[in-house]
Structure 1
Amino acid sequence: MSTYKHQVEENFIRYAKIDTTADPNSTTFPSTMKQKDLAKLLVKELIDLGLKDAEMDEWGYVFATIPGNTDKEAPTICFCSHMDTAPDVTGTNVKPIVHRNYNGSPITLPDDPTQVITIERHPYLKEKIGDDIITASGTTLLGADDKAGIAIIMDFANYIVTHPEVKHGDIRILFTPDEEVGRGVDHLDIKKLNADYGYTLDGGVLGSIEDETFSADSVKVTFKGVSAHPGYAKGKMINALKLVADFVAALPKDRWSPETTEGREGFVHPVAINGIMEEASVSFIIRDHLTEKLSKFEDELQSLAQMIIEPHNGATMVFEVKEQYRNMKEVLQSVPFVTDYAIEAMKRAGIEPRPTIIRGGTDGSRLSFMGLPCPNLFTGEMGIHSKQEYVSVQDMEKAVKTMVELIQIWEGHED
């Protein structure tokens, strides 16, 4: 690929300018219809590449096929990225800026000079000196999570279509909405996708390969108090808002929380409080790499909630648990070659593999349990969900090279 002119930079800038922020409070799918603006553009670009079956379905999923060109019995491989961006920071009016030949000095973002990207805060930048770094302008996120993945897949598709000497089986392309709000594959027709194995392009540092995620549940604890006129409330009123406040204040301070855990340590994380005096609730996300630990967290949390209402005669509590996703390792450990091939592809591309775990989840978590074993590959996206998000153009180009090697490895193996 030494003479190939990559398109990832141009692709990424084009996609980053399209607002695709997801909305966790929406009841529609996708949660914001503007995600379909990017989907429509991607379908057009895929058709322009010659992928005649490219389409967006009613839910906003984008599908396309690069037909195989080998005489071998090769499995169908899917590459997937998500189109939405996180609601944590606005994705409206993103202005991507390319910082050529980064020299290691602080990057001050022009639309908000208080936003300064430094090596001290972002140590990975030490490895990126000499690279071309793309940032936002200071008032928005960048959207590298996961438009970097989309830009990579689209550049890969262009390379494969224009280089028929690269032998491969059928390749399926999938772009999903609403990954950031945990609904990325809620309406995906896995039979229509029709792939044997897959890879999400949604990882961080160069060389990272992730085949282990959190397992995840959500919990909603609702406290029901007793209403009374505040002027005549003595001995009668039980304020549900105060019950919620006492409950959150009673959470452990030295464990459980995201801010006190790392590695394979799980956490119990309150994310929203809603209510009025008579009824109030607090929502949690529960995470651990061992699925069985989720129920232990939940049992302890429920006991704590019960302890809060016990002194208040007439107060009640409802404890609701919903499964979100499970650790993809539970599936991928039975097909280790899916990860092994990605590691081999990186080595062929001259990249040092960095196997790691995800303190979170990807669409690949749920896809793996839907029958599509699906590790996560690097894109270079860093500082995600923040105004200091950035991505290296060269990291994206190396992801394309990895994919080209990977698809040839699959064509040359029989599993």
Structure 2
Amino acid sequence: MTSFKKSDLNFSVVERFFRYVIVDTQSDSSSLTHPSTPKQKNLGKILVNELLEIGVTDAHIDQFGYVYATIPANTTRPNVPIICFCSHMDTSPDCSGLDVKPIIHENYQGQDLILPDDATQILRMAEHPDLKNQIGNDIITASGTTLLGADNKAGVAEIMDACYHWMNHPEIKHGTIKILFTPDEEIGRGVDKVDIEKLGAYAAYTIDGESAGTMENETFSADGLKLTINGISAHPGFAKGKMQSAIKIAGAIVASLPHQLSPEGTSGKQGFVHPVAIEGNVEQAIVEFIVRDFDDNLLVQHAGVIKQTTETILSNYPNATYTIEVNAQYRNMKQVLNEHPAIVDNAMEAIKRAGMEPRLRSIRGGTDGSRLSFMGLPCPNIFAGEHAFHGKQEWVSVQDMQKAVETILHLGEVWEGASPNPPR
């Protein structure tokens, strides 16, 4: 069933991870360039050099900051489907990624983990319940003033370690494997410039999930909504009966949205509307929303709540007007993956072979795989072990990263032994 044991592997994933997290790769949603920040290419160049050093001869970074590479097949079986592994190099704009200082807390025994550079940053098991599964493991955090960057440099390091083992362990059989590292995933542009034809893959897997043993085959569907309020400006000294402030109207609309349709009022499979930016003046104000749900029909209904709330508030401002612009961002990848069950089934088998009980989950967010799936490359999301992403208490365990490497290697073997050319 498998040609290797964990004891056969000399893991390099932690050393790689430490090298990668100290490179600042924060993306910037206000930028119009590709990638949004040139510094993301700094990590891309490091990855290319490391791939070339281990013998991956076609590794390269393109003008947009994407890293491509090919692990040649070492199997004699014909027609093994080409699969791709993908992680993103950028870190979230929500928290600084400059001068990250990774720390290993060895042999965790359930105690509070106080981060040394800011003693107010404390990882408590009550607030991070997945720590219950980490007793005896080694926990990696940042020092308290930055995020760690496990989202998604844990996935990058895991794929890179798997590449090292593929190139140095010919007994681990696999077909042709494509590697893709993307910029700008955190700002929703992770696959804007990806070359699907260059990959030429049958299926892909992002390595960007949370708890060990989990796999996500379902994401939110997502829209962006822009609400523009056109008010009536007047000199404030002579405004009685004339002024209709777009700022106050926008504030009233946001305040009137139902709590049960907010991120802080929802969980599980419940969708939400969320104002993410407000700007303007008395004459015009713009509110930007993200709208999320697993069901596309409910996505439309949620946008309708914003429209209805706006019209209710504007009934008190007869001279003010509004416009709403809705832009599709990504869709629930399960719509595509349901048509290709082998892609999910093979990953579940790989998780089993790595000694874990596989668990399918839905993610209250999106991944590069959400959009790749609708670009013709079905792409579920496999765990990377990252937790508490986008904040100073982000963490990952050494053992979970090693399990992710094992899973990736097993998945290559599962596809190598599967029936050729499963239907698409």
Shorter-chain TM-score tier: over 0.9
Residue of structure 1 aligned with 2:139, choices 133, 138, 149: 133
Question: Is residue 412 of structure 2 the alignment partner of residue 407 of structure 1?
Answer: yes
Match of residue 362, structure 2, among 357, 364, 375:
357
CA drift of 1:3 comes to: 3.1
- Answering whether residue 37 of structure 2 is matched by residue 32 of structure 1, we say yes
Give 1:79-98 correspondences, 5 Å limit: 79-98=85-104
Instruction: Look up the equivalent residue of 1:23 and give its one-letter code.
Output: D
Q: 1:306 aligns with which of 307, 311, 330?
A: 311
Residue-by-residue CA offset, 1:56-104 (whole Å, 9 max, x unaligned): 1111000000011112210110000000111111111111011111121
1:156 to 162, 167, 176: 162
Say which of 175, 194, 212 aligns to 2:181. Answer: 175
Q: Could you say what the CA RMSD is over the residues aligned between the two structures, in angstroms? A: 0.9
Partner of 2:200: 194
Aligned length: 414
**Paired AA for residue 54 in structure 1:** A
Q: 2:236 aligns with which of 226, 230, 235?
A: 230
Query: What's the counterpart of residue 165 of structure 1?
Result: 171
Could you tell me how far 1:165 is from its partner in structure 2?
A: 1.4
Q: Are 1:78 and 2:84 matched, yes or no?
A: yes
Distance 2:297 2:51 in 1: 43
Aligned to 1:51: 56
Q: Residue 376 in 1 paired to residue 396 in 2?
A: no
Q: Which of the numbers 302, 306, 330 marks the counterpart of 2:335?
A: 330
Partner of 1:290: 295
Structure 1 residue ranges (4+ consecutive) displaced by more than 4 angstroms after TM superposition: none
Separation (CA, whole Å) in 1 of partners of 2:53 and 2:170: 17
Shift of 1:308: 1.8
Partner of residue 213, structure 1: 219
Task: State the partner residue of 2:3.
Answer: none
Quote the residue 1:241 is aligned against.
247
* 1:338-387 Cα deviation digits (max 9, x unpaired): 11111111111111111111111100000011111111001110011111
Which residue type is aligned with residue 369 of structure 2?
G
Mean CA deviation greater in 3-12 or 210-219: 3-12
Letter in 2 for 1:123: P
How much does 1:259 deviate? Answer: 1.0
- Which residue does 2:282 correspond to in 1? 277
Secondary structure at 1:212 match in 2:
strand
Deviates more, 1:397-406 or 1:228-237: 228-237
The AA in structure 2 aligned to 1:246 is A
Deviations 1:311-358 (A, max 9, x none): 223211010100000000000001111111111111111111111111
For the residue of structure 2 that corresponds to 1:406, the secondary structure is helix
1:11 aligns with 2:41: no
Cα separation, 1, equivalents of 2:296 and 2:162: 35
Amino acid across the alignment from 1:97: I
Letter in 2 for 1:85: T
State the percentage of identical aligned residues. Answer: 56
Match of 1:105 among 81, 104, 111: 111
- Aligned counterparts of 1:261 and 1:147: Cα–Cα separation in 2: 29
Q: Which residue of 2 aligns with 1:42?
A: 47
Structure 1: which amino acid aligns with 2:154?
Answer: A
**Residue identity opposite 1:80 in structure 2:** C
TM-score normalised by structure 2 residue count: 0.96
How far, CA to CA, are the matches of 1:276 and 1:37 in structure 2?
40
Q: Report the more deviating stretch, 362-371 or 186-195.
A: 186-195
CA distance in 2, matches of 1:40, 1:291: 39
| Separation in 1, partners of 2:310, 2:217 | 35
Deviation at 1:275, TM superposition (A): 1.0
- Matching residue within 261, 269, 274 for 1:264: 269
Partners of 2:129 and 2:239 lie apart in 1 by: 56
Given residue 144 of structure 1, which amino acid in structure 2 is its aligned partner? A
Unaligned runs of 5+ in 2: 1-5
- Residue type matched to 1:379 in 2? A
Return the alpha-carbon distance in structure 1 between the equivalents of residues 322 and 98 of structure 2.
Answer: 39
Partner of 1:147: 153
Deviation string 1:286-313 (CA, Å, 9 cap, x unpaired) is 1100111111111221121122222223
Displacement, 1:30? Answer: 1.2
Q: Distance in 2 between matches of 1:308 and 1:61?
A: 46
Structure 1, unpaired ranges of 5+: none
How far apart, CA to CA, are the structure 1 residues paired with 2:283 and 2:326?
22
**Inter-partner Cα distance in structure 1 for 2:110 and 2:303:** 45
Task: Measure how far apart 1:24 and its partner are.
Answer: 1.4
- How far does residue 246 in structure 1 lie from its aligned partner after superposition? 0.6
